[in-house]
Amino acid sequence: MTIRSLVPLPVRRHFRDLSASYSTLRLIAGMWEDQGFTPSGEPNNESGERRGFWREFEDNVDWTDPGHVNRVVRVYETLVDAITPEELASTRKFMDRQGFDVDAEGRIRPKSNTALAMVAAMPRSLNTLRDPAMILDSFERINRALPTDPAQAIGSAKELVEATAKTVLEELGVPFEDKTAKLPQLIDRAQRELGLHPQTAAPGPDGSQAVKRILGGLSGIALGLGELRNEGWGTGHAARRTGLRPRHGYLAVGAAHTWCQVVLDTLADPSAPWRTQVADATAG
């Protein structure tokens, strides 16, 4: 699955145009390079040296990659900080039409109905996965559901946890029955494999009583999502919508995000205790 571009073309063109009034090529380079981007060196048809140079950095952006897009937004914010008050007022109006807020400090935030709103909720460690397709699909569904369809948001939040658990097990090479595995089994197995289960937590902070208590609550959060959906409050089981409010959808999505964030960050952490445990088992 390939998700759509997370930054609309008009927004890209707007900031490319703004770059033409930015003082020097050196400063443009600094903005992009500070965020880890390099120019492509490829010729383009942009008019003006500054616009063309800006475009070379854009050439090396994956506009479907949440990590790349978050860094591009930081570039935009740096440029916003340097433009005139008149340009800032114009940019605010333009970005509002495109579904973004530019606050008094120049920070850019997506409104809830934009594609980039999905980026804000995505763990950055998602970028380390070989195949994040199932997780991205769940985020797409959540993005479409909030805030107007809490039943769909609840159902998609449950699917996000399930997709994350399956993806983690696949990344670790742990076999499971894709068609028949139940959510509680997937959650338990994923957390155990990553040392995130209260019974498998490693020495150090991961094995402290406080962290074990939190990990137990983490399991409960994920399991609660499945139960909420199975009780009929989420799509997939003849959803009951009477009484559901946007806050219920946000509750479910927030819970799912918390679980996924911890699991994916632990999977990506090069010094996480689970890696030592795997190495020890292999050596033995």
Token duo for residue 229? 């959906």
* Spatial contact of 239 and 132, defined as CB atoms under 8 Å apart: no
One domain for residues 262 and 159: yes
Domain boundary among 117, 139, 158: 117
4 in any annotated domain? no
Distance from the Cα of residue 110 to its chain's centroid: 13
As to burial, measured by CB atoms within 10 angstroms (0-12 exposed, 13-18 middle, 19+ buried), residue 153 is: buried
CA distance 62 to 270: 24
One domain for residues 264 and 127: yes
Q: What is the pTM of this model?
A: 0.61
One domain for residues 67 and 184: no
Residue ranges of the chain with pLDDT lower than 70?
Answer: 1-4, 112-124, 201-203, 235-241, 277-284
Token duo for residue 152? 């769909």
One domain for residues 32 and 158: no
pLDDT digits 0-9 by tens, 168-196: 999 999 999 988 899 999 999 999 999 88
Range of the domain at 33: 9-117
One domain for residues 162 and 222: yes
Domain boundary among 117, 139, 174: 117
**pLDDT for the residue numbered 201:** 63
Token duo for residue 267? 């999977």
One domain for residues 144 and 65: no
**pLDDT for the residue numbered 38:** 96
One domain for residues 272 and 159: yes
One domain for residues 33 and 160: no
**pLDDT for the residue numbered 232:** 76
Query: What does DSSP assign to residue 243?
Result: T
1 in any annotated domain? no
Q: What is the number of structural domains in the chain?
A: 2
Domain boundary among 73, 96, 117: 117
Greatest CA separation for the chain: 67
One domain for residues 44 and 75: yes
145 in any annotated domain? yes
CA distance 140 to 273: 32
To the nearest 10 degrees (0 to 180), the angle between helices 209-228 and 246-268 is 130
One domain for residues 73 and 135: no
One domain for residues 110 and 130: no
